[in-house]
Amino acid sequence: MSPALIAALPFIGALLPGLMVRAGRSAAASACAAASALALLGLLLHAPAITAGEVIATRIQWMPQIGLNADFRLDGLGLLFGIMILGIGLLVILYARHYLSQADAAGPFFTWLMLFQGAMTGIVLSDNILMMLVFWELTSLSSFMLIGFWKHLPEGRQGARMALTVTGLGGLAMIAGCLMLGQVAGSYRLSDILAVRGAIQGSPLYLPALVLILIGAFTKSAQFPFHFWLPRAMAAPTPVSAYLHSATMVKAGIFLMARLWPVLAGTPEWTGIVATAGLVTMLAGAVIALFQDDLKGLLAYSTISHLGLITMLLGLGTEEAAVAAVFHIIAHATFKAALFMAAGIVDHEAHTRSIARLGGLRRLMPLTFAIVLVAALSMAGIPPFSGFISKELMLENAARADLGGMAWLVGALATLGALVSVAYSLRMIVHVFLGPVRQDHPAPPHDPGIGLWLAPALLAALVVVGGLAPNLTLGWLVEAAAAAVTGAHPHPHFALWHGFTPALKMSLAAILGGAALLALWRPANGLRLALPRPDAGAIFDDMTGTAAAWARRFTSGVTNGSMSRALALLMLTATAAGFAAWQTGRAGPEVRPMLPVTPIAALGWVMAMLATGTMVALHRRRILALVLVGIVGLIVSCAFVYLSAPDLALTQITVEVVTVMLLLLALNFLPKRTVLDTGNVKRGADAFVAALTGLGVGILAYAIMRRDFAFPSIKDYMLATSHDLGGGDNVVNVILVDFRGYDTYGEITVLGIAALTIFALTETLLAGRSGRRLSAWKGDMRRAGDRHPLMLVVATRVLLPISLVVGLYIFLRGHNAPGGGFVAGLIVSVALVMQYMASGFAWAMQRQNIPYHTLIGLGVLCAGITGAGAWFAGKPFLTSAFGYVHLIGVEPFELATAMGFDTGVFLAVVGAVMLALNSLSRIARAAGQRVNAEPMDIHPERPR
């Protein structure tokens, strides 16, 4: 199974809950579990090759011109994180099936969970940093939905917003840093970047790129001072906490630092920033965790502390420290996921997570106690569990570290962090499960069914096995991942006993000191309460509130809702920017001669100026202004014909017809005249801005058309290769559906979104008070007695089939002659709009039942599938294929895949135009207009 398919399987799984949830949440969970298990199996099948030193790669060209390709690679580091993401994800799915209540929407929950799983899998398997950035931002969005899943909880909504804000801003910084990194390396492929360590560290962009990338990693992994969002995210359901905050989301920043370790580590800047941040985070998180009353709060801050531990190890920059970091990544993921699930069990059964209200659960919940005992002792670094081995490795490397010229500092602080870690781990055991049985729990606690305890029990078993047989169970994975991080071939040997080493002495001091600190917890907590405690969350809320207030003040100062004011500011800014660029730039001499100004061209220019001026002067009379707009569009179409651009002329004139007709129908619901609500000064200022902007654009266009530039014109390439590469003689159409097909694909998508937005706005307009006002609305002018003249009705009936045939003809000839899907879609739309104009909304709505929403979706889907089909031939997205068919008695004709893309354009255009018209018809019907209540039908046998 290729890495690309492994990364795609969770996204495929995200489609299943919506289809399966009607069969029950067990079916939805089973479908998601099957997708995760299949991806995990595909990953494990590559394990023998990865441990042998191979790298499995998949290369899919997408947009190679800008370095954005769907490249995936699977090495030891990707294998490690992939197993954690998919393996723990599988257990979380099984746990969540039994944790969620009947009131929770299981379908959306599992959908967002699988989207998050896919995004994380994409991050760790990406071999292109641009693609990795896409997955990175997708984790922020999907985690936002998961953290705020319980929308009825204010703390859930606040936690989701805080997580998205902090990680999103960090992601923006990371994007800038990764772009710098790719610029220095000359490639955005990670394989290429990792091979140019010297060039990157010797570049002047190294430090800014390093800082920006670390901001992204620190925000995602909750490193100080960005740590405050993680505890607020504990308002999420416990399965989310167990998944996002033990093995996946918070580990994304750790993964990024490990992935880029070969090229960024080993410098004083790296060590100073990363190791220091890790040490501070480890100590701060541990101290705050010790005094938390919420079980999940304790685990959240302990997660912050352990993430700081891993960050510190990576920051030391040595191969031995990197090995220790890799081992602790595994150990932490297993015991912390088990503890989060156990905390969820306690909350689920006792209906509280407050440690002050718990105690004596050992007798009431013996199975849960056993799971917590194993996982918490591993978190404390007590033998014989895997957490003890990773803690010993950490202390050993900390004892040898030298930070800032003080050889003792890192070891002392690391020992202090381990000491506090022992204290809060023992507190979770002693204060929650030991002591006398309490009778005042909100609900009688008891061990849950197997659905809830099986997943954490399996993780606890891994904690035990990883400690007792580390080389057999974890050694191969650690060795493969460490080799990918360091670029070397370490052969670590893990054991519970290494003799009385300095690390063991530091560990014993931490254990004894932690037990003593727990005994002194109450006076220590009293001292903490007496001291000032800055709240990072409150500071964040104040900062965001202040920023929002300033933004509102600035926005209200720039624009007050007036379109003319906003447009004036936009035009002045654009004109000033263009003037500044022209003054500071280097423009060559005017070397191109002007085209001769013929009488016809001069006449057209004068007519366009007169029509435009008249429209401005008489714009208050809306119908006349609309007619003048159509005249200007017609003159522009004639100019395109004059300048030998028939495709543009055909498109322009059809756009003008559709626009004028739709606006004419829309004006039916507006006053016929615009009320004069501005004074002479305001109109004079608007006229000045318009004249200045128009003059600036005109001068710029003239200057550009009279000059040559250093770079060659792309038109020569298009003209020379449109037939050979695109299979068409109409260069304009080949550009739209082949050379620049991605632009067209985006345009039809935006067009469809705009039509759907109009439809949604209409839904809002027809509801509530506005709908009631529309139902009582009456026109402001008397209407003609013959509202649907017979000649117009007959003409539109005759023209409809003719227009449809012309539209088909224009569509089929578009690749080699003026035409194409866009123009054909407009022609068909004109034919349909004419029916509405001739016979009224009611008559037309009674005779058509086309789902225009579906038409838009089919158009975008058809264009997308056509573009994706190129992948199966090993070509970039939207690459066309074509050939010529020779039939007896028929002139050879061309068949091209571009026709499928053009079909999508056609469907999207027709759907968008008709959906907008459909929205107008619904407004008309709501307004109580009995348009053609007794329609004039040219078929007398049909009952009226």
What DSSP assignment string belongs to 598-658?
-HHHHHHHHHHHHHHHHHHHTTTBHHHHHHHHHHHHHHHHHHHHHTT-HHHHHHHHHHHHH
Nearest alpha carbon to residue 674 among 743, 749, 622: 622
Nearest alpha carbon to residue 217 among 292, 269, 166, 145: 166
Pairing state between β 882-885 and 893-896 = antiparallel
What pLDDT, on a 0 to 100 scale, did the predictor assign at position 933? 38
Three-state DSSP class for residue 406: strand
**Greatest pairwise CA separation for the chain in angstroms:** 106
Three-state DSSP class for residue 893: strand
Q: Is 419:288 a contact under the CB 8 Å cutoff? A: no
| HSE toward the beta carbon, residue 748, CA cutoff 13 A | 33
73 beta partners: 57
CB atoms near residue 429 (< 10 Å) = 18
Residues of the domain holding 770: 724-944
Q: What is the mean pLDDT of each run of 10 residues along the chain (944 residues)?
A: 90 87 84 93 92 87 73 91 93 91 85 93 92 92 90 85 89 92 90 90 92 93 87 87 82 92 91 92 92 90 92 91 92 92 90 87 91 93 90 89 77 92 93 84 85 91 92 89 87 81 88 92 84 75 86 80 81 88 78 85 90 85 86 90 87 86 76 70 84 88 80 77 82 84 88 86 73 62 60 84 89 85 88 80 73 87 88 80 78 80 90 83 62 39 40
What pLDDT, on a 0 to 100 scale, did the predictor assign at position 542? 84
Three-state DSSP class for residue 929: coil
* Token pair in block for residue 37: 């298990």
What pLDDT, on a 0 to 100 scale, did the predictor assign at position 706? 84
Q: Is 149:45 a contact under the CB 8 Å cutoff? A: no
What pLDDT, on a 0 to 100 scale, did the predictor assign at position 379? 93
Which residue, chain included where needed, has tokens 């900390």? 398
Three-state DSSP class for residue 5: helix
882 beta partners: 896
Q: Which residues contact 419 (CB under 8 A, 6 or more apart)?
A: 509, 510, 513, 514, 517
Which residue, chain included where needed, has tokens 């016979």? 839
Nearest alpha carbon to residue 97 among 372, 353, 367, 454: 454
DSSP 8-state symbol, 66: G
Distance CA 876, CA 739 (A): 11
For residue 313, tell me if it sits in a domain: no
Q: Which residues contact 161 (CB under 8 A, 6 or more apart)?
A: 144, 148
Distance CA 246, CA 255 (A): 13
Domain stop point among 520, 535, 550? 535
For residue 522, tell me if it sits in a domain: yes
Vertex 880: Cα angle to 755 and 883 (nearest 5): 125
Which residue, chain included where needed, has tokens 């017809």? 657
**Sign of the CA dihedral 538, 540, 541, 543?**
positive
Q: Is 261:356 a contact under the CB 8 Å cutoff? A: no
Q: Is 898:738 a contact under the CB 8 Å cutoff? A: yes
What pLDDT, on a 0 to 100 scale, did the predictor assign at position 721? 84
Distance CA 368, CA 453 (A): 7
What pLDDT, on a 0 to 100 scale, did the predictor assign at position 772? 67
CB atoms near residue 456 (< 10 Å) = 29
Distance CA 497, CA 384 (A): 10
For residue 730, tell me if it sits in a domain: yes
What pLDDT, on a 0 to 100 scale, did the predictor assign at position 58? 87
How far is C-alpha 814 from the chain's CA centre? 36
Mutual angle of helices 450-468 and 76-99, in 10-degree steps? 150
Q: Is 504:392 a contact under the CB 8 Å cutoff? A: yes
For residue 159, tell me if it sits in a domain: no
For residue 109, tell me if it sits in a domain: no
Q: Is 339:300 a contact under the CB 8 Å cutoff? A: no
Backbone torsions φ then ψ of 707, nearest 5 degrees = -125, 150
Distance CA 348, CA 368 (A): 12
Three-state DSSP class for residue 57: strand
DSSP 8-state symbol, 596: P
CB atoms near residue 220 (< 10 Å) = 30
**DSSP assignment string, 383-396:** TTSHHHHHHHHHHH
DSSP 8-state symbol, 246: T
Please count the structural domains in the chain.
Answer: 2
What pLDDT, on a 0 to 100 scale, did the predictor assign at position 935? 39
Vertex 26: Cα angle to 21 and 29 (nearest 5): 75
Domain stop point among 535, 551, 579? 535
For residue 318, tell me if it sits in a domain: no
For residue 425, tell me if it sits in a domain: yes
Nearest alpha carbon to residue 124 among 28, 262, 249: 249
| HSE toward the beta carbon, residue 346, CA cutoff 13 A | 30
Distance CA 478, CA 470 (A): 10
DSSP 8-state symbol, 788: S
Distance CA 394, CA 325 (A): 8
Q: Is 908:826 a contact under the CB 8 Å cutoff? A: no
**Sign of the CA dihedral 235, 237, 242, 245?**
negative
CB atoms near residue 540 (< 10 Å) = 17
For residue 527, tell me if it sits in a domain: yes
Vertex 797: Cα angle to 792 and 801 (nearest 5): 140
**Sign of the CA dihedral 415, 421, 424, 430?**
negative
DSSP 8-state symbol, 594: P
* Token pair in block for residue 909: 């255009």
Domain stop point among 476, 500, 535? 535
Distance CA 908, CA 914 (A): 10
Q: Is 649:637 a contact under the CB 8 Å cutoff? A: yes
Vertex 178: Cα angle to 172 and 182 (nearest 5): 150
What pLDDT, on a 0 to 100 scale, did the predictor assign at position 525? 84
